[in-house]
Amino acid sequence: MTIPRDVREELHLKPGDVLFMQSDSKTETLQLGKAINPFDVLAEHAKAEYAAGRAKNLRQIAEELAIDLDGE
């Protein structure tokens, strides 16, 4: 299926992107939506949290919970 350039640009589509399609026989329309990987969304959120200084590493969390990571 070839998607017109203006539609590809509007949806920010790149080669290899996965799309969902839904057709409506009554209105004879086709709806397209870009499938978004939830792990990509989570990774972007994690990067933003880290950049804002709100992220903790494993050692910090273990210290708060009094967990010995070194087995001593």
- The DSSP symbol for 45 reads H
- Other C-beta atoms closer than 10 Å to the C-beta of 13 total 16
Alpha-carbon dihedral angle through residues 37, 16, 7, 30, given to the nearest 10 degrees = -80
pLDDT digits (tens, 9 = 90+) for 5-55: 998 898 889 999 999 999 999 999 989 888 888 999 999 999 999 999 999
Q: Could you give the CA distance from residue 28 to residue 19 in angstroms, rounded to a whole number? A: 19
Q: Greater confidence, 64 or 32? A: 64
Phi, psi (degrees; rounded to nearest 5) at 6: -65, -35
What is residue 65's three-state secondary structure? coil
Per-domain residue ranges of the chain = 1-35, 36-72
